[in-house]
Amino acid sequence: MTENKDKAIAVFRFGVIHEFVGATHLTKNEKRRLLREKCERKWVIPYSSRTRISENSIYRWIRRYQKSGGRIESLYPGKRGDQGKPRKLDDETVNIVLATRRSQMATPVPMLLESLKRQALVPASTGLSTIYRLFHRHDLMDQSPKPEDRRKFEAELVNDIWQSDVMHGPKVTVNQRLRKTYLIAFIDDHSRLIVFGRFYLSENLASFMDAFEKALSKRGLPRKLYVDNGSAYRSHGLEFTCASLAIALIHARPYKPQGKGKIERFFKTVRSGFLPGAGLSSLEQLNQSFTQWLDTGYHQRIHSATGMTPFDRFSQNLACIRKAPRNLKDHFRTAVYRTVAKDRTVTLNGNLFEAPVALIGKRVLILYHESEPKAAEVFWGQTSHGMLVPVNLHVNCRVKRDKNINPQLEPGTESDYQGGGLWK
Range in 71-85, 305-319, 344-358, 377-391 with the lowest mean pLDDT: 71-85
Domain ranges of the chain: 2-75, 91-137, 161-320, 333-409
Report whether pLDDT(255) > 90: no
Alpha carbon distance 279, 288 (integer Å): 9
**Overall average pLDDT of the 166-188 stretch:** 93
419 versus 18: the higher-pLDDT residue is 18
Alpha carbon distance 190, 250 (integer Å): 17
Round the average pLDDT of the chain to a whole number and report it.
84
pLDDT level of residue 53 (50, 70, 90 thresholds): very high
How far is residue 105 from each of residues 51, 144, 255, 263, 396, measured CA to CA in Å?
Answer: 21, 11, 27, 41, 71
255 versus 191: the higher-pLDDT residue is 191
Identify the pLDDT of residue 176.
86
Residue whose C-alpha is closest to residue 211's, from 118, 106, 287: 287
Residue whose C-alpha is closest to residue 383's, from 365, 395, 369, 396: 365
Query: For residues 251 and 233, is the Cβ–Cβ distance under 8 A?
Result: yes
pLDDT level of residue 256 (50, 70, 90 thresholds): low
pLDDT level of residue 417 (50, 70, 90 thresholds): very low
pLDDT tens digits, one per residue of 110-119: 999 999 889 9
Report whether pLDDT(323) > 80: yes
Range in 143-152, 261-270, 293-302, 320-329 with the lowest mean pLDDT: 143-152
**Overall average pLDDT of the 413-418 stretch:** 50
Q: What is the CA radius of gyration of the chain?
A: 28
Identify the pLDDT of residue 261.
83
pLDDT level of residue 320 (50, 70, 90 thresholds): confident
How far is residue 315 from each of residues 190, 398, 407, measured CA to CA in Å?
Answer: 11, 62, 59
Query: For residues 286 and 280, is the Cβ–Cβ distance under 8 A?
Result: yes
409 versus 50: the higher-pLDDT residue is 50
Report whether pLDDT(170) > 90: yes
pLDDT tens digits, one per residue of 234-247: 888 899 899 989 99
Query: For residues 51 and 130, is the Cβ–Cβ distance under 8 A?
Result: no
Query: For residues 56 and 35, is the Cβ–Cβ distance under 8 A?
Result: no
pLDDT level of residue 106 (50, 70, 90 thresholds): confident
pLDDT level of residue 125 (50, 70, 90 thresholds): confident
* CA of residue 106 relative to chain centroid, distance: 40
Query: For residues 16 and 61, is the Cβ–Cβ distance under 8 A?
Result: yes
pLDDT above 70 coverage of the chain, percent: 85
Alpha carbon distance 328, 351 (integer Å): 25
**Overall average pLDDT of the 13-34 stretch:** 85
Alpha carbon distance 155, 161 (integer Å): 6
Report whether pLDDT(86) > 70: no
Identify the pLDDT of residue 144.
57
Alpha carbon distance 111, 108 (integer Å): 5
Long-range contacts of 351-355 (CB under 8 A, 24+ apart): 351/390, 352/390, 352/391, 353/388, 353/389, 353/390, 353/391, 354/388, 354/389, 354/390, 354/391, 355/385, 355/388
> How deeply is 286 buried, as exposed, middle or buried, from its count of CB atoms within 10 A (0-12, 13-18, 19+)?
buried
Identify the pLDDT of residue 424.
41
Report whether pLDDT(420) > 60: no
150 versus 351: the higher-pLDDT residue is 351
Alpha carbon distance 76, 84 (integer Å): 20
CATH fold, domain 161-320, is Nucleotidyltransferase; domain 5 (3.30.420)
pLDDT level of residue 391 (50, 70, 90 thresholds): confident
Alpha carbon distance 247, 62 (integer Å): 15
Q: Is the pTM here over 0.75, yes or no?
A: no
**Overall average pLDDT of the 390-399 stretch:** 65
Identify the pLDDT of residue 142.
66
Beta bridge partners, 377, equal 367, 387
Range in 136-145, 278-287, 377-386 with the lowest mean pLDDT: 136-145
Identify the pLDDT of residue 368.
86
